[in-house]
Amino acid sequence: MRTVPKPISVDDYRARVRALVPATPVTLLPLEQCVGLVLGDDLVAPVSLPPFDNSAMDGYAVRSVDVADPVVELPVAEDIPAGRTDVVPLRPGTAHRIMTGAPIPPGADAIVKVEDTDGGTERVTIKAQAAPGAHIRRTGEDVAEGATVLRAGTVLGSPQLGLASAIGRAELPVHRPVRVLVLSTGSELVEPGEPLRPGQIYESNSVLLATAVRETGGEATVLRFVPDDVRAFHDTIAGHLDKVDVLVTSGGVSAGAYEVVKDSLDGRGVDFLRVAVQPGGPQGSGVFQGLPVVTLPGNPVSAALSFELFLRPALLAAMGHAVINRPRVKARSGAELRSPLGRRQYRRGFLEGEAVAPVGGPGSHLLAAFASSNCLIEIPEDVDVVAEGDPVTVLVLG
Ligand code: AMP
Ligand code: MG
């Protein structure tokens, strides 16, 4: 009697793939290469921000006691544009014209903004009083020298990289991008841009998967694709295995004949199994010649969803991310949905407010429907029908 092995659960398989991909080392990278990466060490400010007391306004630096009357006229003794480094002390009874960001001259304790004056350059008429400290940005008000401004584990986006620059950093220690080798398989595949013959289709998983890798902050090297030929498979990956952290393949893992990935890697460190998920049941993973390998099914939506469910969290975790899962929200299904018992189904949907409209059917070849969705509707293993209006869990993509 032949027994069919029980499929592994989505959560168990996710944990298994995650355990395969080791953490990337922390390295120093120039700021422009740090976008979306995770800071590997606490960032301490070697300078204060602002580094010196400076003006928050274009106007005049004064002593507040000199502008106590409703209208006063003062000689303008100095002009201080931003960037001037030789700051002359303010003598009592005078004003210095000053621009935003310029250093406050010693002796001045307030700024009168230009709108409250006649804007004079030799003498200035001031029509407003100024409290001590008015419009002065104090040294260290934002950041004190020696303070930790970003903690290790922070995901670096534009505000964080701006802050790093502001404290004088040109490079940051980050968990370096995970390097992923992407290889598609299938004798029916044709490079986009080339003519198609009957029975052939354009190859799309390479671009889809490489882009998904790059969206995590990882680096993808695309080997394009190989025909369903074990020799060609091994010849193509040879020479690349020691240059990457993970090999991701698509196609050739199901139960048919000519399953090139299975035929090439089965019994050589990679296990082929079924996951209790739809789409994307047939999966493979393991370590081949020292390299973690994750083999995805070939149907584009299966490949994309498998990446989303299993590889994306593994790659993010390897790059030091604490948050590796998509936001989950509850929404009301806009239609009845049917799902196979015993498998967790992910349907493509469009979430708007509290309603989610299913997009396309469950078929794993429906790439256009996937491309016009913005979420996945998760139907648990023990649910076979979701009625229109029922609450469902939605994974928000993008
Ligand atoms: P397979 O998993 O190799 O049996 O492929 C399943 C389905 O996905 C078949 O219809 C293939 O033609 C299609 N397919 C496999 N790989 C790709 C690819 N890289 N690009 C587009 N379609 C693919
Ligand atoms: Mg195939």
Atom 7 (ligand 1): residue with closest C-alpha?
299
Atom 17 (ligand 1): residue with closest C-alpha?
298
pLDDT of residue 212: 98
Q: Is the CB of 299 under 6 A from ligand 1?
A: yes
207 C-alpha to center of ligand 1: Å? 13
Q: Is the CB of 251 under 6 A from ligand 1?
A: yes
SS3 294: strand
Question: Across the strands, what pairs with 293?
Answer: 247, 286
262 C-alpha to center of ligand 2: Å? 11
Q: Is the CB of 345 under 6 A from ligand 1?
A: no
Pocket perturbation via mutation, ligand 1, pick of 185, 250, 366 by most ligand atoms within 8 A of CB? 250
11 C-alpha to center of ligand 2: Å? 26
220 C-alpha to center of ligand 2: Å? 21
What is the residue type of 309? L
Q: Which atom of ligand 1 is nearest to the CA of 203?
A: 20
pLDDT of residue 3: 60
Atom 3 (ligand 1): residue with closest C-alpha?
251
97 C-alpha to center of ligand 1: Å? 71
Q: CA–CA separation, 377 vs 358, rounded Å?
A: 8
pLDDT of residue 255: 85
* Residues around the ion ligand 2 (C-beta < 5 A): 186, 251-252, 298
Question: Across the strands, what pairs with 29?
Answer: 172
Atom 8 (ligand 1): residue with closest C-alpha?
299
364 C-alpha to center of ligand 1: Å? 10
Half-sphere exposure for 184 (CA within 13 Å, toward CB): 24
Tell me the pLDDT tens digit for each residue of 237-292: 999 999 999 999 999 999 888 999 999 999 999 999 999 999 999 999 999 999 99
pLDDT of residue 1: 53
Q: CA–CA separation, 63 vs 96, rounded Å?
A: 10
Tell me the pLDDT tens digit for each residue of 59-77: 999 999 999 999 999 999 9
Contacts of 367 (CB under 8 A, 6+ apart): 204, 300, 301
Mean pLDDT of 202-226: 97
Residue at token pair 């480094």: 85
Tell me the pLDDT tens digit for each residue of 4-42: 678 999 999 999 999 999 999 999 999 999 999 999 999
Tell me the pLDDT tens digit for each residue of 135-180: 999 999 999 999 999 999 999 999 999 999 999 999 999 999 999 9
Q: Is the CB of 360 under 6 A from ligand 1?
A: no
Q: CA–CA separation, 254 vs 272, rounded Å?
A: 9
Asked if 213 contacts 350 with a C-beta cutoff of 8 angstroms, the reply is no
Asked if 110 contacts 67 with a C-beta cutoff of 8 angstroms, the reply is yes
